Structure 1
Amino acid sequence: MSATVKHLSAFQRDILYVVSDLETSYGLGIKDALEEYYGEEVNTGRVYQNLSTLVEKGYLEKSAIDKRTNSYTLTETALQAIEHRHNWQQTRADSQLVG
């Protein structure tokens, strides 16, 4: 079975999509992108807590940019999960157009 994001929260899925879109994904950059998407302030602690969870679950890899800043990249598991989610959503959207 391919990887899925069904056990992640919507916020965690949004983080994965943001990371996939940013050239350099670091905590505050991810937070800024989420705030732009949501149109409201996002709690910094919430972002970092969910980044840690996504690293622990194998969806993100964390590496140091410098002593205070980490970057985050999608793992193969995350890429497969995003593709699975996209296909699942597309199938549902297509069935609505046909039905």
Structure 2
Amino acid sequence: MTTYHDLMGFQRDLLEAIAAVDDDPYGLALKAYLDERYADPINHSRLYQNLDQLVEQDLINRDDLDARTNVYTLTDAGRHELQHHAETLAGLCELARPVADGGARQ
């Protein structure tokens, strides 16, 4: 089974994009979401190769939206990996962190 940490950063970002896109998360909508966050535009080949790999790893589903367009959704496994990572980050943010004077910040 593929875990969140087995994925490349771009693939992790794709999982986030699929979860974040409100309307149908089709390729160009995902590209637009990521283009807003990346310094350089996302190459179509890179996008679709990584979407294909996530489908093969059973982290996302690919279904026909129309004759020319696919829509991508998280599988239960993909949603689990994304949620687990979010919970991990949320937990880390709640840890006490040292401050400059040697005390602990809550």
C-alpha distance in 2, partners of 1:39/1:18? 16
Name the TM-score, length of structure 1 as normaliser: 0.88
Q: Which residue of 1 aligns with 2:7?
A: 8
| Structure 2 unaligned spans of 5+ | 99-103
Identity over the aligned pairs, expressed in percent? Answer: 33
Larger mean CA deviation between 21-30 and 84-93 belongs to: 84-93
What secondary structure, in the 3-state scheme, does the structure 2 residue paired with 1:63 have? strand
Instruction: Letter of the 2:11 partner, please give it.
Output: Q
Q: What residue number does 2:26 align with?
A: 26
1:18–1:34 Cα contact (<8 Å) kept: yes
Q: Deviations over 1:61-99 (max 9, x none)?
A: 000112211000011111111111011122222225475
Aligned to 1:87: 87
Normalised to the residue count of structure 2, the TM-score between the two structures is: 0.82
Aligned residue for 2:70? Answer: 70
Distance 2:77 2:69 in 1: 24
Q: What amino acid is aligned across from residue 14 of structure 2 in structure 1?
A: I
Q: Choose 1 or 2 for highest CA Rg.
A: 2
Q: 1 or 2, which has the higher helix percentage?
A: 1
Could you list the runs of 5+ residues in structure 1 that have no partner in the other structure? none
1:20 maps to a residue whose letter is A
Q: Assess if the C-alpha contact under 8 Å between 1:4 and 1:82 holds in 2.
A: no
State whether structure 2 residue 54 is matched by structure 1 residue 54.
yes
